[in-house]
Amino acid sequence: MPARAQVNYNQRDDKYRVLGLKRAKEAYETARRDYERQEELFKKTLISQADLDHFHNIMADAEVNYQQSLLAVLFEQQFVSVAHAVKYQHHDGTKHVRLTVANTSGETAEFQKLLNIDDKLFRSLQPDVVNDVYISITNADGAIISQPYEAKIAQLRYGEPARLDFALLEDLDAVTVNMIYGSGSSRSMKIFLQKDASVNKVDVQSEQFSQEVELGKSATFDLTLELFSGVNNTFSLEVLNLPPQIDRFFKDPTGQARLSQFKFTETTNTRKAALEVSLPDRPTDEVPMDRPIPFFVVVVPHDLAKSAGDMKSRAWTQAEIENLHVGFVKLELIPRGEGKLLVRAPQLYFSIKPEGTVQTSVDVVNEGTRRLDNIEVRIDPPLNWTKDVQPAVVPSLGIGEERRVELTFTPPRDVSVGRYEIRLRSSALSDNHPVNAEDKTATVEIATGANVTGTVLLILLIVGLAGGIVIFGIKLTRR
């Protein structure tokens, strides 16, 4: 006979496991009492060994069913919770999560009292221990973002929380904690990470920690500010070691409002800010070309900012800033320049005779922020015209400097009357990069030469005609 049938198994016991456990306990106690009575009868030789073995089998089946029901209830009541999840910054700059998990299956002792279960059996099943707890941390897409990828707790006892440390591979404020434990029970909880209140600082990060900026231009460093403090929530922003010739200010990247202080709210532990710096138009001793300028952005608690005074009045070393125990980030600015070539031509229209020559000049000017080298002005004349440029090459032009270049172009002797266009092209090098100026076009008009003899004959003809008219008029009046 099947064991379940022998103990009056009810199919709803799988759904209502506590009631099934009561039924199994009563069936086991009944079978045990029956076996004990049959054992007394066997001792008196009133029943056979086969009959005694039959009742022993019934009792054993009832005991197994009872233990299975008890295990089902205990495993169903096993529960693992996240007690604390604290995000903190390691000394090497990486972000970590300190996770505390606890066995909250505290109802097992109450089941023991409720069901009057034998303490020896109850303790042998270790109801206050959750075995093989596997824990991992994932993002919203389900990807594991922790190192180690998965941690195991062999035994998690009631009243003895376990602490785990995970390095975050992705910097998030909210993560999902996944747990598998016991006989396959699982939980997934999306939790908002607490901040480590043991330190009073704001972590600062910038993706654009080093930027090249042309003189006369501006650059923006995006900043991410993350609060790790249980004391202060108001902080000041300061820039240290940046030369005074470089203008700087902090702004809110969303509203573009300027910032000097900011405050975290109860629901916001991460903020965005931006540092905008503007370089002067010309290099100086403190703002040299092509040399990095390291500086620091520090986030100072409001009370410390009052006592520290003007922090920008002197140069700071990184060790001194670290001793302040404030959040900071080291940034770098590299001033760059770019030469800009401008050609000024006072005259671009000329009228000459066929045997004439055009002589003019242009001024080449460096309007950029870097020296120009090997400046050339090239002439593209019509066919058979001759040209001359003096000097052929200007070796260099400093920032704001200018130089005059003399140009000569002569038409051939058999040139036809008309207009001719001559293109002027200019080029230079700036830090070995080519720089071109806007092309200019000069117009030369070849005028017809004057005929002196024809002009004299025309004048005599006009005078003779006028004289004839006068004489003819006098004769008419005499008649």
What is the spatial distance between Cα 411 and Cα 415, in angstroms, rounded to a whole number?
A: 6
> Among 194, 223, 237, 243, which Cα is nearest to 83's?
194
Mean per-residue pLDDT, 343-357? 91
pLDDT in tens, 93-138: 788 999 999 988 755 555 555 555 555 555 555 567 788 899 999 9
* 56-70, 274-288, 340-354, 453-467: least confidently modelled range: 453-467
Q: Could you check whether the bond before residue 346 is cis, i.e. omega within 30 degrees of 0?
A: no
Q: Could you check whether the bond before residue 395 is cis, i.e. omega within 30 degrees of 0?
A: no
Residue 233, both tokens: 């929530």
Is pLDDT above 70 for 449? Answer: no
pLDDT band per the 50, 70, 90 thresholds, residue 176 = very high
What pLDDT does residue 216 have? 87
What is the spatial distance between Cα 203 and Cα 226, in angstroms, rounded to a whole number?
A: 5
Residue 188, both tokens: 């997934």
Mean per-residue pLDDT, 445-470? 75
Is pLDDT above 60 for 4? Answer: no
Mean per-residue pLDDT, 387-392? 94
Mean per-residue pLDDT, 44-61? 88
What pLDDT does residue 6 have? 44
Mean per-residue pLDDT, 32-58? 88
Dihedrals phi, psi of 307, to nearest 5 degrees: -75, -25
Mean per-residue pLDDT, 356-375? 92
Name the β-bridge partners of 301. 235
pLDDT in tens, 397-417: 998 899 999 999 999 988 888
Is pLDDT above 80 for 455? Answer: no
What pLDDT does residue 440 have? 92
On whether the CB atoms of residues 337 and 370 are closer than 8 A, the answer is yes
| Number of other CB atoms surrounding residue 30 within 10 Å | 15
Residue 449, both tokens: 């030469």
Is pLDDT above 70 for 1? Answer: no
pLDDT band per the 50, 70, 90 thresholds, residue 2 = very low
What pLDDT does residue 362 have? 94
pLDDT in tens, 130-155: 888 999 999 999 999 999 999 999 98
Is pLDDT above 60 for 476? Answer: yes
What pLDDT does residue 260 have? 81
What is the spatial distance between Cα 368 and Cα 425, in angstroms, rounded to a whole number?
A: 18
What pLDDT does residue 5 have? 39
pLDDT band per the 50, 70, 90 thresholds, residue 301 = confident
What pLDDT does residue 116 have? 58
Higher pLDDT, 73 or 286: 286
What is the spatial distance between Cα 190 and Cα 186, in angstroms, rounded to a whole number?
A: 14
pLDDT band per the 50, 70, 90 thresholds, residue 277 = very high
What pLDDT does residue 13 have? 52
* 111-125, 177-191, 322-336: least confidently modelled range: 111-125
pLDDT band per the 50, 70, 90 thresholds, residue 3 = very low
What pLDDT does residue 111 have? 55
On whether the CB atoms of residues 430 and 373 are closer than 8 A, the answer is yes
Is pLDDT above 90 for 386? Answer: yes
Is pLDDT above 80 for 395? Answer: yes
pLDDT band per the 50, 70, 90 thresholds, residue 437 = very high
| Number of other CB atoms surrounding residue 413 within 10 Å | 8
What pLDDT does residue 247 have? 93
> Among 152, 184, 1, 170, which Cα is nearest to 78's?
184
Mean per-residue pLDDT, 440-460? 77
Mean per-residue pLDDT, 180-188? 84
* 124-138, 182-196, 327-341, 443-457: least confidently modelled range: 443-457
What pLDDT does residue 76 have? 57
Rg of the chain over all Cα atoms, to the nearest angstrom:
49
What pLDDT does residue 173 have? 83
